Amino acid sequence: MNNEILNKVDEIIELINNSDDYKEYLKLKEVISNNEEITSLINKVKSLQKEIVHGYNKELELQETLNTLNNHPIYREYNNKVIDINNQINLIETTLNNYINKKINEN
């Protein structure tokens, strides 16, 4: 039974991997990794976050950098794809949980 379940999970993962949203996400991820402006902003955000953890007052600069990053059209589209994919995964999880609970409560 365990192998059957794992095989079905693999099928679900394959469906996600073959979805248009996931393919678009991969393309956008590649575009971002090759975009110097976006990668520079991401690295600056990470650096500022580290400085804040070490007690430096960089919150305003971090917020400004995040605003610039989040307003970049490619990065915004990428984030929307991430949200879409996460919503799909959450829907699958919820559907499975509801179905399993229903079947358990029927007995």
Instruction: Give tens-digit pLDDT for 21-64.
Output: 999 999 999 999 999 999 999 999 999 999 999 999 999 999 99
Instruction: Give tens-digit pLDDT for 57-104.
Output: 999 999 999 999 999 999 999 999 999 999 999 999 999 999 999 989
* Cα 16 from Cα 23, distance rounded (Å): 9
First vs last C-alpha separation in the chain: 19
